[in-house]
Chains A and B, each alone.
Chain A
């Protein structure tokens, strides 16, 4: 803007209009991306700055930013064994369930791909879990796992496997398994669709050529299919990993973090700290710590993905 004013005072009027035209064009070009930049500013930039402010100040939901407290919130959070174990659980949960779902989803996609026409129909069927609101997914599985009248307990008792109902959601380890099963139900179909798409990008002739060369099914899978889909698979894993770090709804509905704190994920723990205990400053510090942990935990996957992509070029 300053440059423009100075220029306007200059002797060369035509140069000045040209300059103004350039500015206009620039402004017009910037308008195109303004919506996305605005969205990013509101949903990413502003929250980050705001969180940093909260994390270093005395803040409640009613009155934020009442005095600077330094790193106090970070120190308390990092000394809180309940929060630290919630982070540990979230990381372990995300890494393991995502890998399991990737393997399972890829196998199902291979199966569907070999079904040809039937595969398309099945594909529309597996779309349904993906479309089901997570809250309803949680409720459906809660009904299945319920100790009194739950389908699983009922079936096990009717077949004489157990005599007393098991409290699946009241046992620390079983409750995690229950969450993982519901998670698997909801997201594996998504992975199936993405893997199916990845498999369909393999050029048709490649397999025939290998067949002519005498490669058996396993060799074709190991030396052709897998290397060709390695890059998409790593990006699918990354995507599922990110989704898993967001785990919240299923915990809220199925266990509410319990029994005790056994199934409290990091996201759920921060939510309770902020929305139920109103301790916003501390919750902000915990959020920043968790975001950093997610960054560190996904970094190796990002690197792996970049390596696979480079290999393809």
Chain B
């Protein structure tokens, strides 16, 4: 009986929290189903639900193109980040190369707000002819997320049992082979979690993307969606539909990978 009462209490406390965190997305869905007049009535539910906003949004702006840009750029950037970070994180931790200063500098570099790098990177991309290209964004995100990946990967590497690596070394494997054939498969869940997080970070980024791209062929989704706002008559229904279409890919990832994600995030922070 006391247990039931306790559960009731916890349930009562949890409900408003869940409600609050679900509300904006649910409202976005509701608005995407509303007609233009219906949007102005201010109630939650659409009075005459319609699907018309969805095709209209895809027609009004190059939403598919934006999504393709975002997905390609963020996936490639995520791969680049992991490829750059994994050997270095391993070397610092196991081969004692670079030492504490490298971890410290890497982490503290993350403290500078991205606006610090905005202008210099603008000139770098301009000189190298990478301004307004997807390759430019891949490079920027791939490099900029290295500190995050470093921070997330290190705890996974630290928990790796040392004996296995030592056994492989005795068998004559070099450090690079040990990393590739022994360490990587074992800490694969951690690598996957880190990859997802840096990829999502790249997918969601707005500041650099808005400054470094200015044509529909290269714009990423957040930038493309933000352009909906510039129109004099904002069509809220279409904007909601386009936003949802853009959120869908990351939510699908979250749905399938949530176990990895939580452990990835959690291991990074708790030292």
Contact = CB atoms under 8 A, between A and B. Distances in A.
Given A33-B98, A274-B119, A140 B204 contact: no
Interface in A153-172: 153-155, 157-158, 165
Interface string B231-271: 00000100110010011001101100010011001110111
Interface stretch (B24-32, B56-64, B158-166, B181-189): B24-32
Nearest to B175: A32
B133 interface: no
A92 to B, nearest CB: 16
A42 B118 contact: no
Contact of A29 (B89, B91, B109, B225): B91
B246 A133 contact: yes
A128 B251 contact: yes
A5 interface: no
A196 B175 CA distance: 35
Interface residues of B, number: 88
A131 B110 contact: no
Contacts of A148: 40, 42
A124 B258 contact: yes
A139 B97 contact: no
B225 A280 contact: no
A267 interface: yes
Contacts of A248: 114-115, 206-207
Of B106, B115, B203, which is in contact with the most chain A CB atoms at under 10 Å from its CB? B115
A148 B41 CA distance: 8
A158 B42 CA distance: 9
B262 A124 contact: yes
B113 A140 contact: no
A287 B114 CA distance: 10
B254 A153 contact: no
A151 to B, nearest CB: 6
A127 B261 contact: yes
Contact of A287 (B21, B115, B144, B251): B115
B113 A267 contact: yes
Contacts of B261: 127
Given A133-B247, A185-B20, A139 B10 contact: no
B13 interface: yes
Contacts of B120: 46-47, 50-51, 54
Contacts of A189: 21
Nearest to A256: B229
B13 to A, nearest CB: 6
Given A47-B117, A50-B123, A198 B269 contact: yes
Nearest to A271: B115
Contacts of B115: 246, 248, 267, 270-271, 287, 290
B8 interface: no
Given A50-B120, A131-B250, A140-B243, A154 B111 contact: no
Given A29-B97, A33-B97, A194-B270, A51 B14 contact: no
A76 interface: no
Interface string A220-238: 0000000000011001100
Contact of B118 (A125, A126, A193, A274): A274
B200 interface: yes
A235 B254 contact: no
Q: Nearest 6 CB-CB pairs, A to B? A: A154-B42, A197-B266, A32-B91, A140-B24, A50-B120, A36-B88
Given A134-B222, A291-B113, 4 more contacts: A36-B85, A39-B143, A157-B42, A271-B115
27 contacts: A32-B88, A33-B88, A36-B88, A36-B89, A37-B102, A38-B84, A42-B124, A43-B121, A47-B116, A47-B121, A51-B119, A124-B254, A125-B22, A139-B225, A143-B236, A143-B240, A144-B24, A155-B43, A201-B270, A232-B269, A242-B110, A245-B113, A270-B115, A275-B211, A287-B115, A287-B119, A294-B113
Interface of B: 10, 13-14, 17-18, 20-25, 27-28, 31, 39-44, 83-85, 87-92, 95, 97-98, 102, 105-106, 109-124, 143-144, 146, 150, 175, 200, 203-204, 206-207, 210-211, 221-223, 225-226, 229, 236, 239-240, 243, 246-247, 250-251, 253-254, 258, 261-262, 265-267, 269-271
Interface of A: 29-30, 32-40, 42-44, 46-48, 50-51, 54, 61, 64, 108, 111-112, 114-115, 118, 122-129, 131-137, 139-141, 143-144, 146, 148-151, 153-155, 157-158, 165, 185, 189-190, 193-194, 196-198, 200-201, 231-232, 235-236, 239, 242, 245-246, 248-249, 252-253, 267, 270-271, 274-275, 280, 283-284, 287, 290-291, 294-295, 298
